[in-house]
Amino acid sequence: MTEVTTRLVETTDGLRLAVHERGSADAETVVLVHGYPDNHSVWDGVAEVLAERFHVVAYDVRGTGESGVPDSTAGYRLAQLSADFRTVVDAVSPDAPVHVAAHDWGSIQTWESVTDPALRSRIATYVSISGPDLGMATAWLRERGHLRSTLRQLAHSWYVFAFQAPLLPEAMVRSGLLARFVGGGPRPAKDQVNGVELYRANFLGKLLRPEPRATDVPVLVIAPRGDDYVTVPLQTEAPRAYATRLTTQVIDGGHWVVTAEPELIAGAITAFIDKEGVR
Protein backbone atom coordinates (compact mmCIF):
# COMPACT_ATOMS: atom_id res chain seq x y z
CA MET A 1 0.00 0.00 0.00
CA THR A 2 1.28 3.43 -0.91
CA GLU A 3 1.26 6.18 1.70
CA VAL A 4 -1.71 8.55 1.53
CA THR A 5 -1.43 12.14 2.72
CA THR A 6 -4.42 14.42 3.24
CA ARG A 7 -4.69 18.18 3.19
CA LEU A 8 -7.55 20.67 3.21
CA VAL A 9 -7.93 23.34 0.55
CA GLU A 10 -10.36 26.26 0.74
CA THR A 11 -12.91 26.83 -2.00
CA THR A 12 -14.00 30.13 -3.49
CA ASP A 13 -17.09 30.15 -1.25
CA GLY A 14 -15.24 29.29 1.95
CA LEU A 15 -15.71 25.50 2.24
CA ARG A 16 -12.82 23.15 2.85
CA LEU A 17 -12.21 20.17 0.58
CA ALA A 18 -10.30 17.09 1.74
CA VAL A 19 -7.62 16.24 -0.82
CA HIS A 20 -5.93 12.83 -0.64
CA GLU A 21 -2.61 12.25 -2.42
CA ARG A 22 -0.33 9.30 -3.07
CA GLY A 23 2.67 8.61 -5.27
CA SER A 24 5.65 10.83 -6.06
CA ALA A 25 4.92 14.56 -6.05
CA ASP A 26 7.50 14.90 -8.85
CA ALA A 27 5.52 12.69 -11.22
CA GLU A 28 2.75 13.75 -13.60
CA THR A 29 -0.47 14.39 -11.70
CA VAL A 30 -3.69 12.44 -12.20
CA VAL A 31 -6.79 13.87 -10.49
CA LEU A 32 -9.64 11.43 -9.78
CA VAL A 33 -13.16 12.81 -9.28
CA HIS A 34 -15.85 10.60 -7.71
CA GLY A 35 -19.59 10.57 -8.26
CA TYR A 36 -22.80 9.95 -6.32
CA PRO A 37 -23.22 8.60 -3.69
CA ASP A 38 -19.51 7.89 -3.28
CA ASN A 39 -16.56 9.72 -1.79
CA HIS A 40 -12.90 9.65 -2.81
CA SER A 41 -12.47 6.06 -1.56
CA VAL A 42 -14.30 4.67 -4.61
CA TRP A 43 -11.02 5.31 -6.43
CA ASP A 44 -8.74 3.54 -3.92
CA GLY A 45 -8.04 0.49 -6.09
CA VAL A 46 -7.39 2.54 -9.22
CA ALA A 47 -5.29 5.07 -7.29
CA GLU A 48 -3.10 2.34 -5.82
CA VAL A 49 -2.21 1.07 -9.29
CA LEU A 50 -1.69 4.53 -10.79
CA ALA A 51 0.52 5.64 -7.88
CA GLU A 52 3.25 3.29 -9.08
CA ARG A 53 3.91 5.87 -11.80
CA PHE A 54 1.88 9.04 -11.12
CA HIS A 55 1.17 11.61 -8.45
CA VAL A 56 -2.45 10.61 -7.78
CA VAL A 57 -4.99 12.97 -6.24
CA ALA A 58 -8.52 12.05 -5.18
CA TYR A 59 -10.64 14.58 -3.34
CA ASP A 60 -13.96 14.44 -1.50
CA VAL A 61 -16.42 16.48 -3.52
CA ARG A 62 -18.29 19.09 -1.46
CA GLY A 63 -20.92 17.52 0.77
CA THR A 64 -19.14 14.15 0.98
CA GLY A 65 -16.42 12.43 2.98
CA GLU A 66 -14.30 14.84 4.98
CA SER A 67 -15.17 17.91 2.90
CA GLY A 68 -17.41 20.77 3.93
CA VAL A 69 -21.14 20.89 3.25
CA PRO A 70 -22.83 23.81 1.44
CA ASP A 71 -25.69 25.47 3.27
CA SER A 72 -27.98 25.61 0.21
CA THR A 73 -28.81 23.78 -3.00
CA ALA A 74 -27.13 26.58 -4.95
CA GLY A 75 -23.81 25.50 -3.47
CA TYR A 76 -23.91 22.37 -5.64
CA ARG A 77 -24.26 24.09 -9.02
CA LEU A 78 -21.90 23.02 -11.79
CA ALA A 79 -20.12 26.37 -11.93
CA GLN A 80 -19.18 26.03 -8.27
CA LEU A 81 -18.11 22.41 -8.68
CA SER A 82 -15.86 23.51 -11.54
CA ALA A 83 -14.41 26.24 -9.32
CA ASP A 84 -13.71 23.55 -6.70
CA PHE A 85 -11.87 21.51 -9.31
CA ARG A 86 -9.76 24.53 -10.25
CA THR A 87 -8.93 25.10 -6.58
CA VAL A 88 -7.75 21.51 -6.17
CA VAL A 89 -5.73 21.51 -9.39
CA ASP A 90 -4.01 24.77 -8.52
CA ALA A 91 -3.12 23.37 -5.09
CA VAL A 92 -1.73 20.00 -6.20
CA SER A 93 -0.13 20.95 -9.54
CA PRO A 94 0.38 24.70 -9.72
CA ASP A 95 2.95 24.62 -12.52
CA ALA A 96 1.75 21.87 -14.86
CA PRO A 97 -1.51 20.63 -16.39
CA VAL A 98 -3.10 17.53 -14.90
CA HIS A 99 -4.65 14.38 -16.27
CA VAL A 100 -8.20 13.79 -15.05
CA ALA A 101 -10.37 10.71 -14.69
CA ALA A 102 -13.91 10.93 -13.38
CA HIS A 103 -16.84 8.62 -12.70
CA ASP A 104 -20.61 9.11 -12.55
CA TRP A 105 -21.41 12.59 -11.17
CA GLY A 106 -17.69 13.23 -11.05
CA SER A 107 -17.72 12.93 -14.84
CA ILE A 108 -20.77 15.15 -15.21
CA GLN A 109 -19.18 17.92 -13.18
CA THR A 110 -15.76 17.53 -14.78
CA TRP A 111 -17.19 18.03 -18.27
CA GLU A 112 -18.05 21.52 -17.02
CA SER A 113 -14.34 22.13 -16.41
CA VAL A 114 -13.09 20.37 -19.55
CA THR A 115 -15.33 22.57 -21.74
CA ASP A 116 -14.36 25.79 -19.94
CA PRO A 117 -11.84 27.75 -22.07
CA ALA A 118 -10.38 29.25 -18.89
CA LEU A 119 -9.27 25.78 -17.78
CA ARG A 120 -7.94 24.51 -21.12
CA SER A 121 -4.31 25.02 -20.14
CA ARG A 122 -4.80 23.15 -16.84
CA ILE A 123 -6.12 19.84 -18.27
CA ALA A 124 -3.91 17.56 -20.36
CA THR A 125 -6.30 14.61 -20.83
CA TYR A 126 -9.74 13.60 -19.61
CA VAL A 127 -11.15 10.09 -19.04
CA SER A 128 -14.93 10.03 -18.47
CA ILE A 129 -16.65 6.93 -17.09
CA SER A 130 -20.45 6.62 -16.82
CA GLY A 131 -21.14 10.34 -16.67
CA PRO A 132 -22.03 12.39 -19.79
CA ASP A 133 -22.06 16.16 -20.05
CA LEU A 134 -25.64 17.20 -19.29
CA GLY A 135 -25.82 19.73 -22.10
CA MET A 136 -24.40 17.36 -24.69
CA ALA A 137 -26.65 14.54 -23.50
CA THR A 138 -29.81 16.67 -23.62
CA ALA A 139 -28.98 18.02 -27.08
CA TRP A 140 -28.30 14.51 -28.40
CA LEU A 141 -31.48 13.04 -26.91
CA ARG A 142 -33.52 15.82 -28.56
CA GLU A 143 -32.21 15.03 -32.05
CA ARG A 144 -34.50 13.30 -34.54
CA GLY A 145 -33.84 9.60 -34.94
CA HIS A 146 -32.93 9.01 -31.29
CA LEU A 147 -36.42 8.21 -29.99
CA ARG A 148 -35.57 4.63 -29.03
CA SER A 149 -32.36 5.71 -27.29
CA THR A 150 -34.20 8.53 -25.54
CA LEU A 151 -36.87 6.19 -24.19
CA ARG A 152 -34.24 3.69 -23.04
CA GLN A 153 -32.27 6.39 -21.25
CA LEU A 154 -35.39 7.82 -19.59
CA ALA A 155 -36.16 4.35 -18.27
CA HIS A 156 -32.63 4.17 -16.84
CA SER A 157 -32.91 7.66 -15.34
CA TRP A 158 -36.26 7.59 -13.51
CA TYR A 159 -34.50 8.34 -10.22
CA VAL A 160 -33.32 11.73 -11.54
CA PHE A 161 -36.91 12.92 -11.55
CA ALA A 162 -37.66 11.31 -8.18
CA PHE A 163 -34.72 13.25 -6.72
CA GLN A 164 -36.39 16.54 -7.62
CA ALA A 165 -39.20 15.88 -5.14
CA PRO A 166 -38.88 17.36 -1.65
CA LEU A 167 -38.29 14.85 1.17
CA LEU A 168 -38.68 11.74 -1.03
CA PRO A 169 -34.95 11.01 -1.53
CA GLU A 170 -34.25 11.64 2.15
CA ALA A 171 -36.99 9.13 3.04
CA MET A 172 -35.44 6.64 0.60
CA VAL A 173 -32.11 7.02 2.42
CA ARG A 174 -33.63 6.54 5.87
CA SER A 175 -35.54 3.44 4.76
CA GLY A 176 -32.49 1.89 3.09
CA LEU A 177 -34.32 1.81 -0.24
CA LEU A 178 -31.83 4.09 -1.96
CA ALA A 179 -28.87 1.97 -0.89
CA ARG A 180 -30.56 -1.15 -2.26
CA PHE A 181 -31.31 0.61 -5.54
CA VAL A 182 -27.88 2.16 -6.00
CA GLY A 183 -25.74 -0.85 -5.11
CA GLY A 184 -21.94 -0.70 -5.08
CA GLY A 185 -21.55 -1.15 -1.32
CA PRO A 186 -22.55 0.79 1.81
CA ARG A 187 -22.12 4.59 1.98
CA PRO A 188 -22.59 7.11 4.78
CA ALA A 189 -26.14 8.43 4.96
CA LYS A 190 -24.72 11.96 4.90
CA ASP A 191 -23.14 11.42 1.49
CA GLN A 192 -26.35 9.92 0.12
CA VAL A 193 -28.53 12.80 1.34
CA ASN A 194 -26.19 15.66 0.46
CA GLY A 195 -25.49 14.33 -3.01
CA VAL A 196 -29.15 14.55 -3.96
CA GLU A 197 -28.61 18.30 -4.13
CA LEU A 198 -26.43 17.76 -7.21
CA TYR A 199 -29.53 16.64 -9.10
CA ARG A 200 -31.74 19.38 -7.70
CA ALA A 201 -29.23 22.11 -8.47
CA ASN A 202 -28.47 21.17 -12.06
CA PHE A 203 -30.74 18.81 -13.97
CA LEU A 204 -33.82 20.89 -14.69
CA GLY A 205 -31.77 23.87 -15.85
CA LYS A 206 -29.78 21.73 -18.28
CA LEU A 207 -32.92 20.02 -19.56
CA LEU A 208 -34.50 23.39 -20.36
CA ARG A 209 -31.32 25.11 -21.60
CA PRO A 210 -28.69 22.55 -22.66
CA GLU A 211 -26.10 25.00 -24.10
CA PRO A 212 -23.35 22.38 -24.69
CA ARG A 213 -19.81 23.69 -25.17
CA ALA A 214 -16.98 22.26 -27.27
CA THR A 215 -13.51 21.18 -26.17
CA ASP A 216 -10.25 20.20 -27.82
CA VAL A 217 -8.94 18.43 -24.71
CA PRO A 218 -8.17 14.78 -25.57
CA VAL A 219 -11.14 12.84 -24.16
CA LEU A 220 -11.56 9.10 -23.58
CA VAL A 221 -15.09 7.92 -22.82
CA ILE A 222 -15.16 4.49 -21.16
CA ALA A 223 -18.67 3.02 -21.42
CA PRO A 224 -19.49 -0.18 -19.49
CA ARG A 225 -21.96 -2.37 -21.36
CA GLY A 226 -23.75 -3.36 -18.17
CA ASP A 227 -24.26 0.15 -16.79
CA ASP A 228 -27.71 0.31 -15.19
CA TYR A 229 -27.88 4.12 -15.23
CA VAL A 230 -26.27 5.42 -18.43
CA THR A 231 -26.66 3.74 -21.81
CA VAL A 232 -23.67 3.11 -24.06
CA PRO A 233 -25.06 5.18 -27.00
CA LEU A 234 -25.60 8.20 -24.79
CA GLN A 235 -22.06 8.01 -23.40
CA THR A 236 -20.29 7.43 -26.70
CA GLU A 237 -22.43 9.40 -29.18
CA ALA A 238 -23.48 12.54 -27.29
CA PRO A 239 -19.95 14.06 -27.13
CA ARG A 240 -19.06 13.50 -30.80
CA ALA A 241 -20.25 16.90 -32.00
CA TYR A 242 -18.38 18.73 -29.24
CA ALA A 243 -15.19 16.81 -28.32
CA THR A 244 -12.88 17.20 -31.30
CA ARG A 245 -10.30 14.71 -29.95
CA LEU A 246 -12.68 11.99 -28.75
CA THR A 247 -11.87 8.31 -28.23
CA THR A 248 -14.50 5.84 -27.05
CA GLN A 249 -13.98 2.45 -25.44
CA VAL A 250 -16.84 0.07 -24.66
CA ILE A 251 -15.96 -2.46 -21.98
CA ASP A 252 -17.61 -5.29 -20.09
CA GLY A 253 -18.74 -4.35 -16.60
CA GLY A 254 -21.33 -2.48 -14.62
CA HIS A 255 -21.68 1.07 -13.37
CA TRP A 256 -19.15 0.60 -10.55
CA VAL A 257 -16.46 -0.85 -12.78
CA VAL A 258 -13.96 1.50 -11.11
CA THR A 259 -14.17 -0.60 -7.94
CA ALA A 260 -14.82 -3.96 -9.60
CA GLU A 261 -11.97 -3.73 -12.14
CA PRO A 262 -9.41 -1.23 -10.84
CA GLU A 263 -6.47 -2.63 -12.82
CA LEU A 264 -8.50 -2.49 -16.05
CA ILE A 265 -9.48 1.12 -15.45
CA ALA A 266 -6.00 2.16 -14.33
CA GLY A 267 -4.56 0.50 -17.43
CA ALA A 268 -6.97 2.33 -19.72
CA ILE A 269 -6.16 5.67 -18.07
CA THR A 270 -2.42 5.06 -18.38
CA ALA A 271 -2.65 3.96 -22.01
CA PHE A 272 -4.63 7.07 -22.91
CA ILE A 273 -2.13 9.34 -21.15
CA ASP A 274 0.68 7.64 -23.06
CA LYS A 275 -1.15 8.13 -26.34
CA GLU A 276 -2.54 11.65 -25.93
CA GLY A 277 -0.92 13.24 -22.89
CA VAL A 278 1.19 16.38 -23.05
CA ARG A 279 4.81 15.75 -22.04
In this predicted structure, the answer to whether residue 19 has a pLDDT above a threshold of 90 is: yes
Question: Burial code of 197-217, b = ≥16 C-beta within 10 A, e = fewer?
Answer: bbbbbbbeebbeebebeebeb
Pairing status of strand 55-59 against strand 16-22 = antiparallel
First to last CA, the chain: 28
In this predicted structure, the answer to whether residue 219 has a pLDDT above a threshold of 70 is: yes
Indicate the domain borders of the chain.
5-276
The per-residue pLDDT for 181 is 64
The per-residue pLDDT for 173 is 74
Residue 255 CA: distances (Å) to CA of 124, 227, 228: 25, 4, 6
The per-residue pLDDT for 213 is 96
Answer with the residue of higher pLDDT: 59 or 162: 59
- Report the distance separating Cα 87 and Cα 104, nearest Å: 21
The per-residue pLDDT for 172 is 74
Report the mean per-residue pLDDT for the chain.
90
Hey, what CATH topology would domain 5-276 get? Rossmann fold (3.40.50)
Q: What is the pLDDT of residues 107-125, one digit of tens each?
A: 999 999 999 999 999 999 9
Residue 17, SS3?
strand
The per-residue pLDDT for 158 is 59
Q: What is the pLDDT of residues 230-278, one digit of tens each?
A: 889 999 999 999 999 999 999 999 999 999 999 999 999 999 999 996 5
Confidence of residue 279 (pLDDT cuts 50, 70, 90): very low
